Every structure is written in structure tokens, then in C-alpha cells.
């Protein structure tokens, strides 16, 4: 899996660096960053420009080639950003090291998202925020099936288009506070909290009724 990303680093910006990246939404989501922050899977660093300059941010990625590319953008960034090579499925950070964790198109790419969410839960402070900009499987049967079919092809490049990322986050113990639809119920901006007190309510769902994300039913109470 790591070698896939080493290979993809070369042409990543060319293939994935377009305006389709929804910079305005990412800036708004990343604007909610508070305190010590982990940026999970920084890739070539295209999204560094959307990060706030105040907080201490540690950005990790498993791929050395991706990190090499991101170095130029990290150096141009006015904030306090540190790049670290690491595997999201087993990170070197102590329990409760971070106040905020940010992900951007990461959960489609890691081999075992459940394991990653467990790690994120461990390294996040109680009460800490998880801010995710992620694409996932649609609950619309036709769109869901299309994403299943697309995954047969994209999986070869390390990308799964049909994951149930929101449910997996909740199963790992995150309480979802807000979900904003960026594109139907496929690309979502999500704010969740590590809240050991329990409770699974969503405070705010900003998307058309028909495209409501595929949430476990109890989440919508
Ligand atoms: C689709 S890219 C997204 C990169 C960046 N966030 C962006 O939006 O451009 C997925 C990234 O996840 C990284 N990755 C895959 N598996 C990983 C793992 N187990 N731990 C850390 N990073 C991983 C890849 O190296 C790659 O940079």
C-alpha cells in the first residue's frame, strides 16, 4: 500500500490538484482548528494553504515521496507546521497528544479505517475535535452502486470510493456534531468530538433532506 502512494506522489498534483478540491469549504472547516493539531495524511501538501497560521500543527503521511513534495509547501507556510513520516494505523504519539485532528481525503486511502479511527481516538484529548473532509459511499442505491463499481478500478490506485466513514467514526467512539454536504451525501465536511460522556446526537445537518448522509439511525435522534 505504501509503495502505491510512493508511485502516485509523482503525478498527484497533476491529477488531484484542480479546483474540484473545494478550497472554500476546506478553509471553513480547517478554520475550526484549535490547539495542538494533527493533520492526517498531508499528501503533497496541497491543502496546507487552507490551514490557520496560529496553532502548532503536526502533519503526517506514510509516504516519503508525498512528504518530500509537501516540504516546499510547508516551508512556504507562515504557520507552525511540522512534517512527520508515520503510519496512521499505529502512531508514535502519546495518548491525548492533540486537541484537534484534521483529515482530508484520507479515510478512502488507509488500509483499515476502523483501526485508524481507534488510533485517532487514542491520540486525541477528551473533548478534542475531529474535523474531516472526506468522501464516502452514498446511501442512494444507484449512486452507491456506481461508487461500488468505481471502487473496483480505483482500488488499484489505493482509493476506496464506497466506505461508510461516518459510521466507522461513530463506532470508534466519536460523537458527530455537524455534517455539511459538499457534494450530495458523497463528499462531506464533518465535525465530531471525542466525548467519553456518550451521546450520539448530531446538532446540525446541513444538506438537502433527500441527500442526507447515510448515518446509523440512532445518530439522528
Ligand atoms: C488521497 S491522498 C490525500 C492526500 C491529501 N490529504 C490531499 O487531500 O491531497 C491519501 C494520502 O494518504 C496517505 N496514506 C495512505 N495510507 C496511510 C497510512 N496508513 N498512514 C498515513 N498516511 C497514509 C497517502 O500516502 C496519501 O498521501
Is the confidence at residue 216, as pLDDT, over 80? no
Grouping H, G, I as helix, E, B as strand and the rest as coil, residue 168 is: helix
Q: What is the mean pLDDT of residues 92-109?
A: 96
Q: What is the mean pLDDT of residues 145-174?
A: 94
Pocket of ligand 1 (CB under 6 A): 5, 16, 41-43, 46-47, 60-63, 66, 87-89, 104-106, 109-110
Average pLDDT, the chain: 88
Nearest-angstrom CA–CA distance, 204 and 188: 13
- What is the enclosing helix (H) or strand (E) of 57? strand 56-61
Is the confidence at residue 178, as pLDDT, over 50? yes
Looking at 17-31, 60-74, 76-90, 136-150, which range is the least confident one? 17-31
CA of 137 to the centre of ligand 1 (A): 18
Nearest-angstrom CA–CA distance, 215 and 68: 37
Is the confidence at residue 205, as pLDDT, over 80? no
167 grid coordinates? 459510521
Residue 3, pLDDT score: 78
Is the confidence at residue 208, as pLDDT, over 70? no
Residue 82, pLDDT score: 96
Q: What is the mean pLDDT of residues 164-185?
A: 93
Residue 221: which pLDDT band, with cuts at 50, 70 and 90?
Answer: very low
CB under 8 Å to 27, separation ≥6 — which residues?
50
Residue range 21-77, pLDDT digits in tens = 688 899 999 999 999 999 999 999 999 999 999 999 999 999 999 999 999 999 999
What sign does the CA torsion over 74, 80, 83, 87 have? negative
CA of 75 to the centre of ligand 1 (A): 20
Is the confidence at residue 219, as pLDDT, over 60? no
CA of 127 to the centre of ligand 1 (A): 25
Q: Whose CA is closest to 134, among 87, 191, 173?
A: 191
The answer to whether the predicted template modeling score (pTM) of the entire model surpasses 0.85 is: yes
Q: What is the mean pLDDT of residues 159-185?
A: 93
Amino acid at each position: 500500500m505504501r509503495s502505491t502512494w510512493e508511485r502516485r506522489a509523482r503525478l498527484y498534483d497533476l491529477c488531484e490538484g484542480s479546483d474540484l478540491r473545494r478550497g472554500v469549504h476546506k478553509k471553513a472547516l480547517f478554520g475550526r482548528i484549535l490547539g495542538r493539531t494533527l493533520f492526517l495524511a498531508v499528501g503533497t501538501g496541497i491543502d496546507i494553504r487552507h490551514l490557520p497560521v496560529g496553532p502548532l500543527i503536526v502533519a503526517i503521511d506514510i509516504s516519503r515521496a508525498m512528504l518530500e513534495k509537501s516540504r516546499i509547501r510547508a516551508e512556504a507556510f507562515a504557520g507552525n507546521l511540522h512534517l512527520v513520516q508515520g503510519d496512521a494505523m499505529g502512531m508514535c504519539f502519546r495518548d491525548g497528544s492533540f486537541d484537534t485532528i484534521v483529515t482530508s481525503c484520507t479515510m478512502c486511502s488507509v488500509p483499515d479505517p476502523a483501526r485508524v479511527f481507534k488510533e485517532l481516538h487514542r491520540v486525541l484529548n477528551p473533548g478534542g475535535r475531529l474535523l474531516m473532509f472526506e468522501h464516502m459511499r452514498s446511501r442512494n442505491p444507484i449512486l452507491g452502486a456506481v461508487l461500488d463499481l468505481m471502487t473496483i478500478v480505483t482500488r488499484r490506485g489505493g482509493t476506496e470510493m464506497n466506505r461508510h466513514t461516518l459510521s466507522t467514526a461513530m463506532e470508534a467512539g466519536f460523537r458527530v456534531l455537524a455534517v455539511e454536504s459538499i457534494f450530495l451525501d458523497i463528499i462531506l465536511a464533518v465535525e465530531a468530538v471525542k466525548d467519553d460522556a456518550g451521546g450520539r446526537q448530531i446538532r446540525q445537518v446541513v444538506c438537502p433532506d433527500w441527500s442526507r448522509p447515510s448515518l446509523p439511525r440512532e445518530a439522528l435522534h
